[in-house]
Structure formats: structure tokens, C-alpha cells
Structure 1
């Protein structure tokens, strides 16, 4: 297995562009990662990376070897998957990612039930509201809200999720209820927006009497954490656009109230993305099937 470990380490260093990042991803030390690359280079008789104090770039030989390394690793994964099919006893580790709200409310609570059924499958769950690169970050599946940017991935639709504009009663009492979507801009309402590096300019797609309009909104507060935005809305700091399932309890308790209920946001797709392979890892397929069923049963009616 030593050679395979070396190849797997090489692939992660190549994909992440960093020895330390690959080491963290593989849960080994940077020294071990470096040693594995050196052993592989000695075996092949070529340098796979050009190293400087600040840069790590693949050589021409490294670029050629990476393509073959990916095929090797996929073949091993498929062979192990076939064994799992035969034994009906899936094992190994799954790397899963999801937006914070989806992960906290829908996926994480169901993980213990999944583990009861498949105790030899380990779950590494990463929650982030930014878009993740499923290949570069070594993920088996990514749950998303919205449209995928990478068309090479397979997509499994879960649901169309209703969204809502909402604010605290204190904010509405202080600033007034917008009468139309145009008032969000003309009246200078404080709109709370989810922003992360590379995020596009903010436009809220609202269903108006004249059709869908994309309203350019601004505000003094932004964050890359959706739950922070919800907290700010509860504190009366502005209007937030959220999937209904994330704020349904606050709406029922009247801690948040709807804004522009006759011009609601366009629903957003919830889906699961996974890499296109000739044969999907059975444990990944089991996890996705389990979570899709759980999420569809757990979403509030109308959400």
C-alpha cells in the first residue's frame, strides 16, 4: 500500500498546490507528505514538482503522471466499491460538504441515523456557505442551493425551496414596510447580504406583477455566514433573503415577519453534486439516497 499512498499524496498535492494543504486533507504531517513525494520521485527517476520557498509547481513530468495517477486511484476506488457491493457491508470515509443552513438543519441531524445503519462508514462533514470545488477539495458529494457552476458534475435535484424576504418587527416599525420591490432601492433599506470572495454583485430575483425582476440591493452589513445574517435580522439590523426552512421557526414565533409577501423571491433549487465516474462508490450512493429521502421528508410544507 505504500506506493498507492504515495500516488494518492501526489494527486492531492497536485490538486491543492500545497504540500501542507494536502497533508491536512489526508490527515498526515507535512513531513510525511514530503517524504512520500520524494519516494515517488526516486521510484520514477524524475522530479514531479519544482519547489521554491514560496511556490510549488508541477513539472512537465508531473503533469503527465497526474493524468495516470487519477486513473489509478479511480480504478482502486471502483474495485473497492465492487467489494462493498458484494459484501453489502460498506466501509471507508465519505467527504461531504453543504451550506451552513442545509448542513445544520437537515444533514447533520440525520448523520447518527445513517451511522446506525452503516457503522463502518465514517463521515467528514464540511459546512460552508461559499462555493466549493468538489474535485480540488477531494469531496464525494456537495449539497447546494442554486445552480452548479461546473457542468461536468452530475446533479441530483432534491427540491425547489421557497424563499422569503423577512425582517424583525422592530426594523419594520422603525423603517416601514416596503410597498413594492422598487422601495428596497429608493427608500434605501438595509439589506443583509451573503458575501464571500468571488461572490457576484447582489441582485435579489423577485416575482413582481411584471414578471421576475432582479433588484440591486445594498446595505451596510455583509457576511459569509448565513446564520450571522439571520442573527442580524433578528436584532433589527435589516432585511434578509432566506430559504423558508431556515427561518420558519422565527416566522412562526413572529420574531421575523415577511417583507413584500406579494413579491416573493424566486425559489432556489436544492441539489446534490457528485463527480462523474463510470461507477459511483456504493457508500456515496447510499449516503446520497439516505439524505435525499430525509431532506424531502423534513422540509416544512410549502418550503
Structure 2
């Protein structure tokens, strides 16, 4: 398998453009990654990368080899998937990503049961609120909240998640209860926003008189971590818009109080993304089916 391992490492180095990043992605040391590339170059008797202290760029031979190497790895993956599909024991690793909130509260709790049912499948879960590139980051499945932008990926909708506007009682004591959504944009109230690098201008879609209206809210704090946003709201720094399942405990305890309940946010879609090729892998289908069933069932309890 060493030659195949060398090819896999080469592909990740080529795609990520960085030896250390590729090593982390492959769960190996940078020294091992470098050694694999050197072994491959020795075998092919060509230079695949031009290396300097600051940059790593593919040579012409590297570009040519990459296009063929990807096809080889795809063929191997498809062959393994075909074998797994006719056995009762699908095996291998699944690399899964999810935003922090749904990852911690909805996805992670279901993984042990999935592992118990399919003991030969290992799940590697990565949690992040930033936008992820499935191909570049070597992911099999990425869960999302909202509407996906990349039409090249396949989409599996799981559920529509209700959302609420809410704030801490101390904040409402100081600022008062908002009486209309216009107070979210005219400076009367502070809104706390979830943003990440490259995110579009943020607007809150609210249901007003049976129609969706978008309000360009603003406030003192922004973050790319949803739990940090909730903590700021708990400390009385402003109003947040959150899926109900993320704040259910705080609502039950009274630490957060719903506001503008007559003009609630539009529910947000929960789903997952995967490539067409990944869907041919039975362990991918099994994991998605498992999550679709159990996560959807857990939403009413969380909300």
C-alpha cells in the first residue's frame, strides 16, 4: 500500500499547496509527508514540486501526474465502495464536518449509536462555523444551516429548524422590549451577528404579515463562533437570532427571553452536502440516512 499512500499524500500536497497542511490532513508528520513525495519523485525520476523556504509549486510533470493520480484514487475508492456494498460489514473512515452548534448538539450525540451499529466505520468529526471546501479539505460529508451555494455538490435536506430572536432579561431591562423589527435597524437595539471571512452582508429574514422581509441589522459585536454569540447574549450585550434547538436550555431556564414573537425569523434549513462520487460509497449513505432519521427526531425535543 506504500505506493498508494505516496500518491494520496502527493494529491493532498498538490491540492493544499502546503506540505504541513497536507501532513495534518493525512494524520502524519511533515517529515513523513516529505519522505513520501521524495519516494514518489525517485520512483518516477522527475521533480513533482519546486520547493523553496517559502513556497511549494507543482512542476509541469507534477501537474500532469496530478490529473492521472486523481483518477487512480477515484478508481480505488469506487472499487472499495463496490466491495463494501455487497458485504454486511462496511468499513473505513468518514470525514465529516458540521457547524459548531449543530455539530455539538445534533450530530455528535448520534455518532456513538452509529458506531455501535457499524463498528468497522470510523467517524472523524470536524466542527467549524467557517465555510468549508469539501474537496480541498478531504471531507466526505458537510452539514450546513441555510441554503448551500455550490450546485456542483449533492444536497440532502434533513429538516427545517425553527428560529427565535431572543435576549437576556438584563438587556431588555436596560433597552426595553423591541416593538417592531424596524427597531433592529434604526439603532434602538443592538444585534449580535454570526459572520465569517467572506460572508455576505448579514440580514435577518423575518416573517411580517405573512411575507418574508429582510432587515439589515447591526450591532457592537460579531463572531464566527455561534456559541460565543450565545454567551454574549447571555451576558446582556444584545439580541441574537438562533435556531431554537441551540438555545432550548437557556429559554427553559429564563436566561434568554424571546422577543418579537409576532414576527419570527424564517426557519433555517438543515442538511448535508456531499459529492456525487461520495454517494456511491455505502458508508456515506448509511451515515447520512442515520443522521437524517435521528437528527430530525431530536429537533422537536431540542426546540
Where on the TM-score scale, by shorter chain, does this alignment land: which range?
over 0.9
Matches within 5 A, 1:128-147: 128-147=128-147
Whether the 8 Å contact between 1:95 and 1:140 is mirrored in structure 2 is yes
Whether the 8 Å contact between 1:78 and 1:279 is mirrored in structure 2 is no
Where does structure 2 lack aligned partners over 5 or more consecutive residues?
none
CA deviations over 1:150-177 (Å, ceiling 9, x no partner): 1111100001111111101111111011
More displaced stretch, 243-252 vs 129-138: 243-252
Alpha-carbon separation, structure 1, partners of 2:279 and 2:81: 8
Matches within 5 A, 1:247-258: 247-258=247-258
Corresponding residue number in structure 1 for 2:27: 27
Which TM-score applies when normalising by structure 2? 0.95
Q: C-alpha displacement at 1:229, in angstroms?
A: 0.9
Corresponding residue number in structure 1 for 2:196: 196
Corresponding residue number in structure 2 for 1:8: 8
Q: C-alpha displacement at 1:58, in angstroms?
A: 1.6
Q: CA RMSD in A?
A: 1.6
Whether the 8 Å contact between 1:97 and 1:127 is mirrored in structure 2 is yes
Alpha-carbon separation, structure 2, partners of 1:188 and 1:132: 35
Whether the 8 Å contact between 2:278 and 2:284 is mirrored in structure 1 is no
Corresponding residue number in structure 2 for 1:239: 239
Corresponding residue number in structure 2 for 1:95: 95
Q: C-alpha displacement at 1:301, in angstroms?
A: 6.3
1:71 aligns with 2:62: no
More displaced stretch, 292-301 vs 133-142: 292-301
Query: 2:214 is paired with a residue of what secondary structure?
Result: strand
Q: C-alpha displacement at 1:210, in angstroms?
A: 7.6
Query: 2:164 is paired with a residue of what secondary structure?
Result: strand
Alpha-carbon separation, structure 2, partners of 1:215 and 1:165: 13
- Give the 4+ runs in structure 1 shifted more than 3 A: none
CA deviations over 1:74-95 (Å, ceiling 9, x no partner): 1111111122122211111111
Whether the 8 Å contact between 2:246 and 2:302 is mirrored in structure 1 is no
CA deviations over 1:3-37 (Å, ceiling 9, x no partner): 11111001111111110011111111111111111
Query: 2:80 is paired with a residue of what secondary structure?
Result: helix
More displaced stretch, 249-258 vs 92-101: 249-258
Alpha-carbon separation, structure 2, partners of 1:193 and 1:99: 15
Q: C-alpha displacement at 1:278, in angstroms?
A: 7.8
Q: C-alpha displacement at 1:135, in angstroms?
A: 0.5
CA deviations over 1:183-241 (Å, ceiling 9, x no partner): 11224311111122112222111122383222111111111110111111111111001
Corresponding residue number in structure 2 for 1:42: 42
CA deviations over 1:116-164 (Å, ceiling 9, x no partner): 1111111110011111101100001000001112111110000111111
Query: 1:277 is paired with a residue of what secondary structure?
Result: helix
Which TM-score applies when normalising by structure 1? 0.95
Where does structure 1 lack aligned partners over 5 or more consecutive residues?
none
More displaced stretch, 236-245 vs 47-56: 47-56
Q: C-alpha displacement at 1:279, in angstroms?
A: 5.7
